Chain A
Amino acid sequence: MAISTASTANHRMRRPRGAARTPYLLIAPAVIAMVGFLVYPMASVIYYSLQNYNVTKPWDNGFAGLDNFRRLLFEDPLFWQSLGFSVRWVGVEVGLQLVFGLILALIVNETFVGRGLSRALVFSPWAVSGVLTTGIWVLLYNPTTGVSRYLADLGLIEYGAAPLAHSGTVFWAAVLAELWRGVPFFAILLLADLQSIPRELYEAASVDGATRRQRFLNVTLPHLKDAIVLSTLLRCVWEFNNVDLLYTLTGGGPAHATTTLPLYVASKAAQSHDFGYGSALTTAAFLILTFFSIAYLRLSKFGAKS
């Protein structure tokens, strides 16, 4: 058919009048929604970051230049402390989630009886919310209702262990809870990519006498590289921005020990009326995330064929 051959190169086969407008009409709702409720608020945040805007001190309102940023860099120890904790939190979480997620994906990619059910079960915490995770792990950590009490009943440990109450253990207690619902994300994404590796590659490697480890290092890992880079980046951004769990589990405490930068901003937004300074904090976090993402994609040579 002449028509179909003419159109294979170009997806548009016929052009009714007004066709040039069609794609714009189709994306219009998405553009309006995102400009109105993402781009405009973001722009207003950047605008307010350059203003003095404090509800309690209206006489000071006006252009402030980079004053808010100067304050943030030199006069606010909590900014640096929360940023440092964010880096530690994201690094530990994403690193551990990646390792366990990869192991899990490799296991449930094998063929065995009960694979379907096992997959469903190990993936299930993926759908659980941060607040629900907190609810569950509060039960598990509490000295009277938690695992520690039943272990103590058996005489294995002392009574009264309360991991959330001590500054020495609260970090790892929070890490474990977040790990519980974070590992499935990596497992699902990496399993999807594992399934796209042609089996012939493994067979060829086996014929050549490659051991399990060699096959993993020389076939599996190179194939997974882009998926790993992309999923770790997405997860870093997500874990950085995620406040639900820490907000409800530790409230950022004890004594700001588990306050991430977004948690600090959210608490500022809820309590203080200094919108100018809060906006400067938001802008700083946005810039940090964007530069980190660009640098990460560059350094990891994302998409480059090896």
Chain B
Amino acid sequence: MTVQTAARPRLPGPLTAPGGTKSRERMRVSRWQIWVPLGLYLLFTLVPFYWMLVFAVRPRGSTSLLPWPITFDNFETVWNELGFAVFFRNSLMVGVASLVMTTVIALAGGYALARYDFRGKKAFMLGMLCTQFIPGAMMLIPLFEIFRTLGLVNSLWSLVIAETVFQLPLSLILISGFIRNVPVELEQAAWVDGCGRLRAFFAVVLPLLRPALVAVGSFAFIHSWNNFLFALMFVNEQEKFTVPVGLAYSLGEFSVDFGALAAGGVVAAVPVVLVFAVIQRYLVQGMSAGAVKG
């Protein structure tokens, strides 16, 4: 989980075999071999972001590719006139609600999988694996029928439920992998000290699960923030639109206002970019500790 290759080669080498330095020389890669392909790839990654930013902030009629002079007219248009203020609030509410529901349910289920043996455990695991093959796009009709029966069409709760359900299996597996990595002896020590199982969990296990919770929670949030098809199908009133739906509508207009499109894109990107900036350091660790080995 914490393999850090950076520190290794700096070890002083009295124990290194005579051939050691030479072989290490051969293992090193020249700077060119790193920076030429990396630079090209960075260009491919960053130019699209840059393009969006420039179009969002440059004044109407400008053809400059430099983000100067800056104007916030486009943002004002999308935020106030096109309704992105409302879409943003809706997306935020759905995202946070999905995050909380996914994390809490996955935590409970993950603890059961990691710490108990019970009949039906294998079937439960297999069932969760199978759900990964169910195409979300194709569940639109039956889910719509269910939400109509429950009176949840045009309610943001339909999105929260659908998001949570599709996020649960992977989150549960990820969290149970992390709980398995917490030594059970730590919990037992707390039981001996008179803690109940629940208190021991909150006092001992939960603090150690922080990276897992950050990973699962942010996956759920990003996924929900980005979801388009459910929001498009289950919600028809404009006051209930989410950001991706609003963005898709501004794309579908007959004559696209490119400045507004770019500004809407920036609005859609900011929350996920912020979340990503916080979690990206844990991302690789989280993958190796939870998903792959768990």
Residue pair B109, A121 in contact (C-beta under 8 Å):
no
Query: Which chain B residues border A195 with CB–CB below 8 Å?
Result: 3, 5, 284, 288
Number of A residues, CB within 8 Å of B: 106
* Contact of B37 with A103 in the complex, beta carbons under 8 Å: yes
- Cα–Cα, bound, A37→B130 (Å): 14
Report chain A residues within 8 Å CB of B262.
135, 139
Nearest CB on B from A280, distance (A): 11
Choose, from A58-66, A77-85, A125-133, the stretch at the interface.
A125-133
A127 touches B140 (CB 8 A): no
- Residues A285 and B135 in contact, CB atoms below 8 Å apart: yes
Q: Is there an interface contact between A112 and B34, defined as CB atoms closer than 8 Å?
A: yes
Interface check B153, CB cutoff 8 A? no
Are A265's CB and B138's CB within 8 A? yes
Interface residue stretch chosen among A22-30, A67-75, A87-95, A155-163: A22-30
Q: How far is the CA of A32 from the CA of B165 in the complex (A)?
A: 10
Task: State whether A286 touches B45 (Cβ < 8 A).
Answer: no
Q: Which of A112, A129, A240 contacts B135 (CB 8 A)?
A: A240
Are B29's CB and A110's CB within 8 A?
yes
Partner of B109, one of A26, A108, A286: A26
* Residues of A with C-beta under 8 A to B191: 13-14
The 8 Å CB contact of A286, one of B3, B138, B146, is: B138
A residues in contact with B275, CB < 8 Å = 127
Bound state CA distance, A196 and B272, in angstroms? 28
* 0/1 interface trace, chain B 138-157, chain A, CB 8 Å (1 if under): 11111101100000000000
Does B238 touch A at the CB level, under 8 Å? no
Does B79 count as interface, using CB distance less than 8 angstroms? no
Counting CB contacts under 8 A, is B177 at the interface? no
Question: Given that A23-B116, A241-B135 are contacting pairs, would A33 and B141 also be in contact in the complex, using a CB cutoff of 8 Å?
Answer: no
Q: B254: CB under 8 A from chain A?
A: no
Number of B residues near A (Cβ < 8 Å) is: 109
Flag if B244 contacts A129 (CB, 8 Å): yes
The smallest beta-carbon distance between A177 and chain B, in angstroms, is 9
Can you list 7 A-B contacts (CB < 8 A)? Answer: A13-B188, A41-B142, A104-B41, A129-B226, A131-B228, A262-B138, A282-B135
- Add 11 more A-B contacts to A111-B9, A191-B284 (CB < 8 A): A120-B277, A121-B46, A127-B226, A135-B261, A136-B48, A139-B51, A147-B51, A195-B5, A266-B229, A269-B140, A278-B141
Q: Could you tell me which A residues sit within 8 Å of B by CB distance?
A: 1, 3-4, 7, 11-14, 16, 20, 22-24, 26-27, 29-31, 33-34, 36-42, 44-45, 48, 100, 103-104, 107-112, 116, 118-132, 134-140, 142, 145, 147, 150, 180, 188-189, 191-193, 195-196, 199, 202-203, 206-207, 212, 227, 230, 234, 237, 240-241, 243-244, 247-248, 262-263, 265-266, 269-270, 275, 278-279, 281-282, 285-286, 289-290, 293
